[in-house]
Chain A
Amino acid sequence: MKNMTLRDSANLAERFAKPSRRMFLSVTALSAAGFLIGCDSKPTTPAATGPAEAFDAAMNWFVRVGSDNTVTVLNKHIEFGQGTATGLSTLVAEEMDADWSQIRVEHAPADASKYGNTILGGAQGTGGSTAMADSYQKMRVAGAGARAMLIAAAAKRFGVDAGTLAIEKGVVRTADGSKKATFGELAADAAKIAPPAVETLKFKDAANYTYVGKSFARLDSPGKTDGSAVFGYDYRPKDAVTALIARPPKFGGTVKSFDDSAAKKLPGTVAVVQVPQGVAVLAKDMWAAIKAREALKVEWDFAKAETRGSAEMMADYKKLASGAGVSARKEGDAAAAMKGAKKKLSADFEFPFLAHAPLEALNCTVVLTADSCEMWFGSQFPSLDQPTAAAIAGLKPEQVKIHTLYAGGSFGRRATPTADLAAEAVGVAKAWGGKAPVKLVHTREDDIKGGYYRPMVLHRMAAGLDAQGVPVAWTNRIVTQSIMEGTPFLPAGQIDFTAIEGSADLPYVFANMDVDVHLPKSAVPVLWWRSVGHTHTAFATEVFLDEVAKAAGKDPLEFRRTLLAKHPRHLGVLNLAAEKAGWGTPMEKGRARGIAVHESFSSFVAHVAEITVKPDRSFTVDRVVCAVDCGIAVNPDVIVAQMEGGIGYGLSAALHEAITLTKGEVDQSNFTDYTILRASEMPKVEVHIVPSTEKPTGVGEPGLPPIAPAVANAIFAATGKSVRKLPMGTKVPA
């Protein structure tokens, strides 16, 4: 493998970013119903009019203007809480001058040719906090294009020059206000207008924004507060059977034999079928499926299974760390500089496997026929789910229709390179012969024990300072399973950038640096988990940096400022968080502050955490002051919510979460032993957004990486003891 330099290895968004294709607007008329508009790489003319339904499969469009005066945004990303539905709609509403109350949002169908994510190489999918970055220009073009067509239709109808018309809250009117028409009234006529060239579109001046930069109510709020929002788990066709899979208790295990006689005697059992993942029971409802699976007896073959415990795996990682790995960054001569250093520091940082545990467990409903496969679920990556389902069903990808429903969280779990959920569901339907709709569900136990974890990680850090206390050497050796190797996301011959992101592109300047990585294999399936490699690299680097700062006799904030002189956006959030938190002002006895800053997914976040340590060594995180720079703040309240959520999710893992294995079997099973953050542990969070005119970047993940190190650094400040192993628990180190 070639040595990778910092910037070409570490950032998913940047790796896949290509100059955006030239965009063309295209439009489809919906007879009497209005029109759809989107942007495409090739120009099209208005299609012949036809019933709205006829365009269902071919909608390459982002915005639908209906004669009922609604403006529907087709969200090419799944909404699972991160606020994308609202954020993308904000851009459309802005450029159209629509009224917020007429905006609706729907999930777009699976069709990468129309809804591909340019940052993800054109695949249709949500991840890497890319939704806003990828959609910003596309949504503005779609909105401005729709606006231009509505104006043109009104100009024709009123017999006036288009330039004299204005739109306010979804109503087009003449300069003197004598003639007016709503979007709904104009929709059918506008559908007949040829879409304007993108070059001719006029975008609104930021000074005139009514929506962007202000907070408008989330579009998914009403349905999620009256029980009417339909999530995957809620979708259940009348004659559907519920399927549960009995999976091997050790990863990599396979079915040797099974006895389903007792399961089949139960009144609710419909069928028992073997599938590649294990043995599936199909039953009339959830309760019957649970009972049937309990009654099943399966003998497993563990010949290829992972049989080590997690403690043994970590011991193996430590052995590996004594030798050099593949180089991910090299500056100067770290070994020589370390030899000559006056002061030397070293530390191992250990990270456990983590489960995503979205509160809605995974599920997928499939209707399979000889020539079609229809699926309803929270599909995070249609471009993987669709071909995987097709291959298993023996169909062409275009014969697979995916209906994306709301998902109760994901944090990465619903996007797997293997499309495991779609594969399981279609596999069960296929094995059973698709006799009725199959609703494949996971229980919480399936979820916690099911793998696809954030990998276990070891960071071996070392640093050297010269006689003046200046850090002259920094080394960081990482040992972890690879998430990307063997997936279509990793170009051949390249280092898994998710293992080193945040470490290899460390912004701090040291004259001599070595970052290298070992990627050992295991049958435990691993996966990206909210903020991916940054979950551990931010912790190891930011906590170790505080140790180095102390050795240099410097204040952690001052130390960072010196090392970040060439990184204005890091400095911007660092200084803002420090200022708002009152960094340096005295605190009562037992209280302390810690600071951490980290860039991920092209957004920059700094947190100051304030803790209280009690005499029994227990501690609480009382307050977190967050500063975020994510470019233009499209919907500030969505950004604030994602910072709050990222802080809570990160703190949950920092304090409590670990998946451990004993002889290859997962020790945890449910929220009883896989503990997550509770209301009483949530600190008061204060979010400050750096004003910016840069292109907007994501917020779903970047709030997470700096929280655990900020808390650990507060503990270090309070006790002089560094936290080197996660989860840290609720007591400071003795």
Chain B
Amino acid sequence: MDFTLNGKARTYSGDPDRPLLWVLREDEALTGTKYGCGVAACGACTVLIDGTPTRSCATPASAVAGTKVTTIEGLNGKVGEAVRTAWRELDVVQCGWCQSGQMLTATAFLTETPAPTEAEITAAMDNNLCRCATYQRIKTAVARAADIAKG
């Protein structure tokens, strides 16, 4: 099975049911994608598959055949960079475990919705849990990233 990971061609030949999360973390050593629940409930494992935020813990490896997968390590481009800049500017992180998933979710959202309202931001980020409760900064950072990306 072939797919593209952060711009590079990759091949996977293991158990097709194995969640993408563990392929990324264990085979590819891309440990920026985190495990939080394993049941698609927290969003810590969010990656972009062809630009769509997807929970890698609930995505079998076989499902990514022929797709482009982006993880936090490969997050770039105008919106992705704006998100990272905003996250650093506002010191959003506390423990940091949820933040890769937050940033990828934010990037996909802002790509679709470059000028979001506060309510849209909250709704877009509402399914990514943060146990440290950095939500206020997450919401502010998404708004700030939208401004940065606009230039």
Contact = CB atoms under 8 A, between A and B. Distances in A.
Contacts of B29: 236
Contact of A678 (B34, B103, B126, B137): B126
A671 B93 contact: no
A409 B131 contact: yes
A51 interface: no
Given A287-B22, A679-B128, A230 B95 contact: no
Given A360-B95, A409-B95, A221 B131 contact: no
Interface string B75-86: 100000000100
A677 to B, nearest CB: 6
A676 B131 contact: yes
B18 to A, nearest CB: 5
Q: How large is the interface on A (under 10, 10 to 19, 20 to 34, 35 or more residues)?
A: 35 or more
B39 interface: yes
Given A236-B26, A358-B95, A685-B136, A443 B38 contact: yes
Given A221-B88, A227-B73, A359-B42, A677 B133 contact: yes
Contact of A682 (B31, B100, B135): B135
A408 B44 CA distance: 11
Interface in B120-136: 122-123, 125-136
Nearest to A83: B94
Interface string A639-681: 0010011011101100000000000000000111000111110
B35 interface: yes
A407 interface: yes
B3 interface: no
B94 to A, nearest CB: 3
17 contacts: A81-B93, A81-B132, A220-B96, A221-B87, A225-B99, A226-B84, A227-B73, A286-B26, A287-B19, A359-B44, A359-B129, A408-B95, A644-B134, A648-B130, A648-B133, A671-B37, A684-B136
A497 interface: no
B33 to A, nearest CB: 8
A82 B96 CA distance: 11
A353 interface: no
Nearest to B139: A679
Interface in B1-31: 15, 18-19, 22, 25-26, 29-31
Contacts of A360: 34-36, 95, 97
Interface string A221-240: 11111111111011010000
A444 B38 contact: yes
Contacts of A565: none
Contacts of B127: 678
A641 B138 CA distance: 12
A684 B118 CA distance: 12
A106 interface: no
A81 B19 contact: no
The CB with the most chain A CB atoms within 10 A, among B35, B42, B97, B130, is that of B97
Contacts of B100: 227
B96 A81 contact: yes
B35 A641 contact: no
B63 interface: no
Contacts of B71: 227
B29 to A, nearest CB: 8
A465 B37 CA distance: 51
Given A225-B88, A680-B126, A647 B18 contact: no
A641 B94 contact: yes
Interface string A334-363: 000000000000000000000001111100
A217 B126 CA distance: 26
Chain B interface residue bracket vs A: 35 or more
Given A234-B31, A408-B96, A645 B134 contact: yes
B91 A221 contact: yes
A99 interface: no
Contacts of A678: 126-127, 129, 135
Contact of B136 (A225, A637, A682): A682
A227 B95 contact: no
Contact of B96 (A224, A644, A648, A649): A224
B96 A227 contact: no
Interface of A: 80-83, 217-218, 220-231, 233-234, 236, 285-287, 357-361, 406-409, 411, 443-444, 637, 641, 644-645, 647-649, 651-652, 670-672, 676-680, 682, 684-685
A357 B22 contact: no
A673 to B, nearest CB: 10
B146 to A, nearest CB: 16
B65 interface: no
B129 A671 contact: yes
B98 A226 contact: no
B22 A649 contact: no
A217 B91 contact: yes
B39 to A, nearest CB: 5
Given A226-B72, A228-B32, A359-B42, A409 B97 contact: yes
Given A231-B97, A360-B97, A649 B133 contact: yes
A543 B109 CA distance: 41
A234 B25 contact: yes
Contacts of A648: 130, 132-136
Contacts of B125: 679
Given A230-B31, A680-B122, A224 B99 contact: yes
Contacts of A220: 93, 96
Contacts of B136: 644, 648, 682, 684-685
Contacts of A677: 133, 135
Contacts of B41: 670-672
Given A221-B88, A648-B136, A678-B135, 11 more contacts: A220-B93, A221-B92, A226-B32, A234-B31, A287-B19, A358-B97, A407-B95, A444-B36, A641-B94, A645-B134, A680-B123
Nearest to A409: B95
Contacts of A223: 96
A679 B132 CA distance: 11
Contacts of A81: 93-96, 132
